[in-house]
Amino acid sequence: MKDGDHLEISADDLITLVSRYNPRTNAELIRAAYDYGRDMHADQRRHSGELYFNHPVAVAAILTEQQLDDATIITALLHDTIEDTKASYGEVAERFGDEIAELVDGVTKLTNLQLNSTETKQAENFRKLFMAMSKDLRVILVKLSDRLHNMRTIRAMRPDKQAQKARETMDIYAPLAGRMGMQWMREELEDLAFRVLNPEGRASIIRRFINLQKETGDVIQRITGDMRLELDKAGVQADVFGRAKKPYSIWRKMQEKDQTFSRLSDIYGFRIITANEEDCYRTLGAIHQRWRAVPGRFKDYISQPKSNGYRSIHTTVSGRDGKRVEVQIRTIQMHDVAETGVAAHWSYRDGVRSQNPFAVDPAKWITTLTEQFDAEEDHVDFLEAVKLEMYSDQVFCFTPKGEVVKLPRGATPIDFAFAIHTRIGTACVGAKVDHTRVPLWTRLKNGQSVEIITAEGQSPQATWLDIAVTGKARAAIRRALREEDKARFIKLGRELARSAFENVGRKATDKALATAARAMRLADRNDLLARLGSAELTGSAVVQAVYPELRPKEGAHVDAKRAVIGLSPGQSFELAFCCQPLPGERIVGITFKGRGVLVHAIDCDRMSAYEDQPDRWLDLHWHDGSHPAVYGITLDLTLNNDAGTLGRICTLIGETRANISDLQFVDRKPDFYRLLIYVELRDVSHLHSLMLTLEAESDVAEVSRYRNMSQDATQTPA
């Protein structure tokens, strides 16, 4: 028997864990799932060498700590079977029912999402993640527990994989756990990721804690005793718990406040659990009578709960020796929700679903979380909105009538206006905060009263995008700006379409454009032209929708698929996007197992990464002869911000027989704007000719070839 050829948690052990909170559990079904999962994973091992099935069982055990239902526990046992074994959806459904099969399939789809990929792909996958969550939130509960166990055992992985998983955990899974109200999981995920990403920083925090304890003794025990004494005097029955904050939490505070450890004061946290809500406020009074409250550090989430059901009173007081301590005060039921967050909806006690009055309906919660994201048509805008929402702490402001509006920290009156109604936001011309007129970029604070001043005929300004922080406001502003700019975009789109169609020897007639719109499932040709003019579509994509068989007719004698000489028979190649090599430039190839050869320009900065791997280098050169205009490069243009300038430039590029396939605005100012234009050219001489033509234009302030060395070498433009 090899080392690791044993299961750390038996079926009986797992059933015992479930039975402690759910005596009515279906033990036989859990045992059947355990046996099935063990058989399916029988020959598989983890990076550490232990049996792979130890992992699903450990994930199930983590979920028992949250007292979750049988379906979720069984899903954990089977969550890798469909993806990694010969098990099928149909077989899982037949053995364990449709509900569990759907959950296992949902977790499998989440596992396959590459959330740490390129920004556009990441945004698409975030949208899929929220769609999966909206179907059944239990899939993300299993996935979070899966990630937690993987992070606990990450040391067996290669260092580069550890760093990748840790960064993904820090950026995505930890904030998501926090957003769901599972603060304990967020803290542990952050700390485990911190251990990988910055082991020296974490070790230094722990060393300083040890030194502090040597100097001051057990501060937590002394303050806990003091608090219990004060509560006894006030006649309040409550449990008091104290702890030092997690290393990552302290590190983050040091970075945010730019303070050293010795100057950081609130590194201890205390939790007081009372029998009822009335005792919460009596406890608050007793604490504030004994210790001085720190101004601006009081939050009452009992009277104003968070959207995930979280309720608690937070206050910070100056304790012994002037040390600040954070105190959270809540009831037992509030504490249960605070520990499990949205998962409290599925928690069991004594064999029945827990009737916790503070548990949030997951369907309603996910609806409120995603409704503002649905308005985001652009994937990258969606990603921005999701990350803002997941990382945000909330502030509570009031309308003049006393209604509460919840906003993320850093929100402005613009966000407040759109939170009330899109119509109010669109017509906003000013704001009063606590009866005083303030600029629209003012950051709102807890408890402020906000009055929005509106005017007929007002429309959102482009500068509002720099002011607003909520996804809802930014999406509404973008929609309004799109409508306002639609006529201008249609005109520009017509020029781009004309150029793209002429490049393949066709005309951009109204009929051709209408046909393209139908093929691309757009409303009409004006919608197509507007999207083309705003760079949401490319000219080549529109042409391909009508004439899929055509390519730019540049007298191509050299097949683009065979344009490079120096490859082995059957060896494929790709052009690196970081340096975008063109025919006529010196090139070199780097071999990749299973992917062929990546072709770089000889002066590409990325080549330094392969200096110590000469066996992977290939000496390549281009075929002689005429090449088609299919080789993409990016131009960085700064243009005068005058009417018609961009249209003329696009026409000029088209006249040089170059094809514009994409453009992206980088910076807009009243007198100029900067944009990146992705054009397809024949070769380096074609590029030089195009740049000379553009440099001669009076409306072009600056033009250069753009190479993005931070971009993935194989990434194609959005």
Provide the 8-state DSSP code for 670: S
Residue 102 Cα distances to 56, 138, 515, angstroms: 17, 11, 40
Bridge partner list, 244: 268
Check residue 553 and give its pLDDT. 47
Check residue 364 and give its pLDDT. 67
Residue 687 Cα distances to 145, 656, 659, 699, 717, angstroms: 53, 10, 12, 19, 19
Tokens of 317: 């007081």
Tokens of 274: 């009372």
Check residue 416 and give its pLDDT. 93
Check residue 393 and give its pLDDT. 57
Check residue 116 and give its pLDDT. 54
Structural domains for the chain: 11-197 (1.10.3210.10), 200-353 (3.30.460.10), 478-546 (no CATH), 554-718 (3.30.70.260)
| Distance (Å, whole) CA 373 – CA 364 | 15
Residue 539 Cα distances to 120, 370, 604, angstroms: 20, 33, 29
Check residue 71 and give its pLDDT. 92
Q: Which residues contact 212 (CB under 8 A, 6 or more apart)?
A: none
Mean pLDDT, the chain cut into blocks of 10 residues (718 residues total) = 66 92 91 92 84 92 90 92 86 91 85 56 60 75 92 88 86 80 87 89 81 73 90 92 83 65 67 94 92 84 82 84 82 86 69 68 65 52 54 71 78 91 90 88 84 87 83 82 76 82 83 88 87 77 80 58 77 88 89 84 83 81 80 91 83 85 83 88 86 80 82 47
Cite the beta strand spans of 355-445 per DSSP E: 394-398, 404-408, 428-433, 436-438
Check residue 451 and give its pLDDT. 92
SS (H, E, C) 311-360: CCEEEEEECHHHCEEEEEEEEHHHHHHHHHHHHHHHCEECCEECCCCCCC
- Residues serving a catalytic function are 83-84
Check residue 406 and give its pLDDT. 77
Check residue 410 and give its pLDDT. 82
Largest CA distance in the chain: 94
pTM over 0.85: no
